[in-house]
Amino acid sequence: MIRKRKDGDLNIAYRPYRIDEMFGDGRIKNLLSGYLENNTLPHASLFTGPAGTGKTTAARIVALGLNCEKGVTPNPCCECETCKSIISLNNMSVMELDGARTGNKDAVLRILNDLPAAPFGMDRYRVLILDEAHKLSNDAEDALLKFLEDTPPHVYVILCTNEPMKLKETTRQRCKSIQFNRMNTDTIYDMIDQVAQFEGMVPNPDVLKMISEECEGTPRIALSFLQQVSAEGSWTKEAATFILSAGAVEADQQEVIDLCRLVLSSNSWHGIQEMYLKLVKKMAPETMRITIMGFMAGCFKNAKTKESAILYHNCTEVMGSLYYGPNAQHILLMRIFKCYSLIRGVELSKWV
């Protein structure tokens, strides 16, 4: 059940702090609920999945559930002093570290050396949430790995990343992995429809549908779109189209879309490959894959003939599966080449 706790930015106002407030994958909700209800949470967890799928939010919910003064629970009260301090990011037993900003060895060692100490005050457990874990320095990850080999019983470590392949295999093996996925369109629609009702909006259902289709399965983007559309006030499809087109595609994503258009129109594989190699240096392969898949799915939706629908369906399937193993950038390039071949009606065997 969605709940509002603050005013202002909808992303902050409706951020979940209990398992029963989470939208999305029921499998993850059931898994985390089971861990907390039975107090069997692994001491080292790896939350993986695309950006914006709720990894850090889930980690904070786990920290709340472990330390709520009413007992270990999937649904903390959010009213006791311990819950309030965790929610305000002012709890000494729950620490967050951003690997992109402070992922060097010294910063990580300071925290790891402090973690074995007993929890503060009424807290039961100490929790370290490592966001952007794949950006830890090599030495920092080595220090973390040694800590994970013998984690104290009152300490839990949660690594959050959208690029787990960049972590060392031994680090991944020490953790229990949980894969987060993007929300489907119907779930996003239900969420923003509930928020609109809570906010006293009188939304146009067609506009809500547009938002749910254009937000890339990400609640954060959906709520931002909803807030902008509500502020504009007309709730017309024309106004919503303008708002969504202005904010839906970031600069890097636009470059990936340009790559997709090149795959559709160019007969020069060399040019496509060059463009891809430039992009993959600054973007995660998984982020690129999701954007390409969304582009192909859009082509499928707009297909005018059965033949073109089949073609784009096949391309979407080629891009559809996750790959978190080694050399992900090479695997993605091969998938792009397969789409390139499908579009030109050429069997891969004829290229070699």
Alpha helices in the chain, H assignment, sequence order: 10-13, 26-37, 55-67, 81-87, 99-102, 105-114, 138-149, 169-174, 185-198, 205-214, 219-232, 237-247, 251-265, 269-279, 285-301, 306-319, 328-343
Is the domain of 343 the same as that of 237? Answer: no
- For residues 35 and 173, state if they share a domain: yes
pLDDT recorded at residue 171: 95
Residue 137, CA atoms < 13 Å, CB-side half-sphere: 12
Residues 171 and 31 in one domain: yes
Same domain? 264 vs 124: no
Domain co-membership, 233 together with 133: no
Cα 319 off chain centre by: 18
Identify whether 322 is part of a domain: yes
If one counts the domains in the chain, the total is 3
pLDDT of residue 352: 39
| HSE (side-chain half, CA atoms, 13 Å) at 49 | 19
Secondary structure class of 321 (helix, strand, coil): coil
d(CA 145, CA 199): 46
* Among 341, 331, 343, residue whose Cα is nearest residue 288: 331
Same domain? 166 vs 52: yes
Tell me which of 222, 247, 272 is where a domain ends.
247
Do 36 and 73 fall within a single domain?
yes
Q: Under 8 Å CB-to-CB from 151, ≥6 apart: which residues?
A: 43, 44, 157
Domain boundary among 131, 158, 179: 179
Token readout for 145 is 């790995």
Q: What is the mean pLDDT of residues 326-336?
A: 86
The whole-number pLDDT of residue 248 equals: 47
**36 and 138 fall within a common domain:** yes
Cβ atoms 200, 223 nearer than 8 A: no
- Measured at the alpha carbon of residue 108, what is the angle toward residues 286 and 64, in degrees to the nearest 5? 75
Q: How crowded is the C-beta side of 103, counted as CA atoms within 13 Å? A: 18
Domain-embedded: residue 323:
yes
CATH of the domain at 132: 3.40.50.300
- The answer to whether residue 292 sits within a structural domain is yes
Do 77 and 115 reside in the same domain of the chain?
Answer: yes
Q: Which tens digits make up the pLDDT trace of 301-315? A: 878 888 888 999 999
Domain closes at, from 220, 247, 274: 247
**Residue whose tokens read 């950038």:** 329
Mean of per-residue pLDDT scores for the chain: 88
- Which 3 state secondary structure label does DSSP give 228? helix
Task: State mean pLDDT over 92-120.
Answer: 91
Q: What is the DSSP letter of 177?
A: E
The one-letter code for the residue type at 306 is K
| Shared-domain flag, residues 16 and 155 | yes
Look at residue 2 and tell me if it is in a domain: no
Identify the CATH number of the domain in which residue 229 sits.
Answer: 1.10.8
Summarize pLDDT for 92-101 with one digit per residue, the tens.
999 999 998 8
Question: How many CB atoms are closer than 10 A to CB 153?
Answer: 7
In a domain, 4, yes or no: no
140 with 280, same domain: the answer is no
Q: Is 349 exposed, middle or buried (0-12, 13-18, 19+ CB in 10 A)?
A: exposed
What are residue 130's DSSP bridge partners? 97, 159
Q: Would you state the structure tokens that stand for residue 130, as one six-digit string?
A: 């490592």
Q: Is 27 exposed, middle or buried (0-12, 13-18, 19+ CB in 10 A)?
A: exposed
At 351, is the pLDDT very low, low, confident or very high (cuts 50, 70, 90)?
A: very low
Q: How far apart are CA 99 and CA 184, in angstroms?
A: 29
Residues 207-259 pLDDT 10s:
999 999 888 888 988 998 999 889 888 998 888 887 786 654 455 667 888 89
333 in any annotated domain: yes
Q: 196: domain range?
A: 185-247
More confident position, 152 or 216: 152
Torsion angle of the four alpha carbons 217, 52, 174, 133, in this order, in degrees rounded to the nearest 10: 150
344 domain residue, yes or no: yes
H/E element holding 252? helix 251-265
**Could you give the percent of the chain with pLDDT greater than 90?**
58
Residues 202 and 258 both lie in one domain: no
Q: Identify whether 127 is part of a domain.
A: yes
Task: Specify which residues 45 forms β-bridges with.
Answer: 158, 176
User: Hey, what are 19's tokens?
Assistant: 């398992």
